Amino acid sequence: MSRTMIILLALVAIVFAVSWAAKSASLDDQYDDYISRGFLITLAAFLTLSILSFLYKDNPFYKFAEHLFVGVSAAYWMSLGFWSTIVGNLIPRLSVTLSAFFKVPHIEDEYALYILPDKVSYFIPVVLGILLLMRLSKKAGWISSWPLAFIVGTTAGLNLVRYLRSDFIEQVSSTFVPLLVDWQGTGRFFSDFNLYAYGQFVTMLGNWVIFIGVLCGLVYFFFSKEHKGIFGGASRVGIWVLMITFGASFGYTVMGRISLLVGRLTFLFHDWLELIG
């Protein structure tokens, strides 16, 4: 470790200690556990700044925050998976004795009467899970392909029906829109013309955009034909429609990201430094 790094680390340690002491002192009259609260707020601020330091370049503080974040989250998700999925969902349905051992209420098998004998349906995921773990063995590793095939195949099959309905049938039928809405003649159209969001003109314009946009968008995603001539023209309109949509989506999401940044800055300047009220 270089001398500069040692000095930098010592400096950060001193700033951390001072911040901890100052924060604890400011919380003294509000909480009994002000020392631990002061430590946690200071640590959170230190980790936030460590992550933000990535904007400058990769550095030891970022590496520390990254490894801490990854390690803690990996352990947390594993623990959560065990306690919520295996102990929370599986064991209460598998066995009364095991439920008592883990101190979780036993749940009766609601599918037992109609499809499979009692408890059998819950042993299927248990067996698949064990087969999946077989990949830890060099000799029996090939068995793990079976549960993988089962997971990928069944979910893809189920998704096919779901997507076909929501992304195909319902979207196509949503393009069945009238071109002329509440049409009472050209004179009436111009005399009542307005740009209200639910007005006649905007609704009709929206219907035109939906119909042409969907058709040209579909043409763009047609892969069996070169995009030339009329087909190419429609495809170009399609990509324009897509890009305008993406632009709107981009702006909308950036606004959301700014609110996240404001949240972190509020934490730093309000909760930690108490510079803003």
Q: To which residue do tokens 């001072």 refer?
A: 18
CB of 240 to another protein, least distance (A): 13
DSSP collapsed to 3 states, 67-90: HHHHHHHHHHHHHHHHHHHHHHHH
**Residue among 181, 193, 240 at smallest CA distance from 212:** 240
Contact between 64 and another protein (CB under 8 A)?
no
Give the nearest distance from C-beta 83 to another protein in angstroms: 15
Binding mask 104-123 for another protein (x = CB under 8 A): ---xx-x--xx---------
3-state secondary structure of 93: helix
The only residue of 118, 182, 226, 271 in contact with another protein, by rule CB under 8 A: 226
Q: Give the CA distances from residue 151 to residues 122, 132, 159, in Å, rounded to whole numbers and listed in that order.
A: 15, 11, 12
79 binds another protein (CB under 8 A): no
> Considering only residues 52, 90, 99, 227, which one is a binding residue for another protein as defined by CB under 8 A?
227
Contacts (Cβ under 8 Å, ≥6 apart) of 66: 51
d(CA 240, CA 233): 11
Q: Which is nearer to another protein, 65 or 94 (CB)?
A: 65
Considering the complex, state which of residue 172 and residue 273 has its C-beta at the smaller distance from another protein.
172
Query: Does 259 help bind another protein (rule: CB under 8 A)?
Result: no
Q: Which of 132, 143, 202, 237 binds another protein (CB under 8 A)?
A: 132
Q: How far is the CB of 186 from another protein (least distance, A)?
A: 17
CA distance 39 to 42: 5
Q: How many Cβ atoms from other residues are within 10 Å of residue 224's Cβ? A: 4
C-alpha–C-alpha distance, residues 52 and 264, integer Å: 10
> By rule CB under 8 A, what count of residues binds another protein?
68
Write out the residues near another protein by the rule CB under 8 A: 51, 54, 57-58, 62-63, 65-66, 69-70, 72-74, 76-77, 107-108, 110, 113-114, 132, 135, 144-145, 148, 151-152, 154-156, 159-161, 163-165, 168-170, 172-173, 175-180, 211, 214-215, 218-219, 221-227, 242-243, 245-247, 249-250, 253, 257
